[in-house]
Homo-oligomer: A and B are copies of this chain.
Amino acid sequence: SGISTFAHLKHVKCLSERDTPFDIGIIGAPFDTAVSYRPGARFGPRAIRAASARQTSFRGFNPRRGLNPYSAPYTIIDCGDIPITPFDNALAVQQMSEAFLELGSRPPALVHSTNPKPKLLTLGGDHSVALPALRALNKIYGGPVAVLHFDAHLDTWHPAKYPSAWPSAQSDFTHGSMFWIASNEGLIINGSSAHAGLRSRLTGWEDYEDDERQGFLRISADDIDEMGTAGIVNAILERIGTETPTYLSLDIDVLDPGLCPGTGTPEAGGWTSREVIRILRGLEGLNVVGADIVEVAPAYDGRGEQTALVASQVAYEILTSWVG
């Protein structure tokens, strides 16, 4: 069939068709009205699915890990997209929160799974989709989770750091402050979380201080030059451990904009896909209970759809870890 699902996976409209249990659900969050600069990530799910077209169960073996996520006993399906309003962010967050919660609370397909719940891999959408995801995980797992956050940006900014002459409660929710909100709501384990790939401008050192209060370790993009990918991996593993339930949130702008131009708030000096893949492969031991790949804005991508391609590869690496 020529219909674009992620990696040609079976498509079930999970939200409305509730009969098909699954272990891993790919779900699109076509939402981009919480961005501060270039919109367009609402088409991220479509672009990532199209870029995954060469992924198939037939030739899906990952030699870096020695297994094929698509032929594992786990049931992986493409749940389609969450219907999300582009007009009212408060409503949008609610729509996403309920969708994530409902899907994530179902029993998994595999009875003897070590996973008590199905795992969701969200294709963004802007980064703010991580807030409803964390709200859902908090309820599903009965407490906060660690966040492993790949990004050029902190995204833990106090909402007031986006200055506005005319503040509004709804304006607090942005793709740069959703982790601050999440921390404030107690959704993130303070002390077990980490940023990786940071390199943006700041308001000042106080951004880092605030970030620390929220309990994040910071690994900057430049750190890789001294630590190598292995050093990054070790720092993360040491920070999070292999037991802590962890939400893996990857903003595609952690990659260099020369390689991944299709994003909204690009920052020069990022990581390469070779580096990011290596790091992800080193993190198999983490207990990742949910994940997202966000900020793919295809209108800014190249004709070769290089950004979406990296996003689909990241999804594949995450799936590899989940079934391995």
Contact = CB atoms under 8 A, between A and B. Distances in A.
Interface of A: 1-5, 11, 13, 28, 30, 32-40, 42-43, 45-46, 49-50, 53-55, 58-64, 66, 68, 78, 80-81, 83, 85-91, 94-95, 161, 163-166, 168, 170-174, 201-205, 207-208, 220-222, 225, 228-229, 255-263, 265-270, 272-274, 277-278, 299-307, 309-310, 313, 316
A306 B59 contact: no
A269 B273 contact: yes
Given A3-B78, A86-B33, A201-B59, A258 B229 contact: no
A33 B30 CA distance: 14
A110 to B, nearest CB: 22
A38 B171 CA distance: 21
B64 A222 contact: yes
Contact of A2 (B30, B208, B256, B310): B30
Contact of A274 (B54, B208, B256): B256
Given A201-B59, A202-B63, A304-B261, A273 B256 contact: yes
A268 B48 CA distance: 13
Nearest to A270: B274
Given A55-B201, A171-B88, A204-B61, A263 B36 contact: no
B3 A80 contact: yes
29 contacts: A1-B81, A2-B81, A4-B46, A11-B11, A32-B39, A33-B86, A54-B265, A59-B161, A59-B202, A59-B203, A61-B203, A61-B207, A62-B201, A63-B201, A63-B208, A83-B165, A85-B166, A257-B304, A257-B306, A258-B260, A258-B272, A258-B306, A259-B259, A261-B303, A268-B310, A269-B313, A272-B272, A300-B302, A302-B302
Contacts of A33: 33, 39, 86-87
Given A13-B1, A170-B88, A268-B310, A39 B36 contact: no
Given A2-B80, A304-B300, A35 B85 contact: no
B50 A46 contact: yes
A88 B85 contact: no
A201 B90 contact: no
A87 B274 contact: no
Contacts of A304: 257, 261-263, 266, 300-302, 307
A76 B202 CA distance: 19
Closest 7 CB pairs of A and B: A261-B304, A258-B259, A2-B81, A1-B80, A39-B39, A88-B170, A299-B299
A122 to B, nearest CB: 12
A229 B306 CA distance: 25
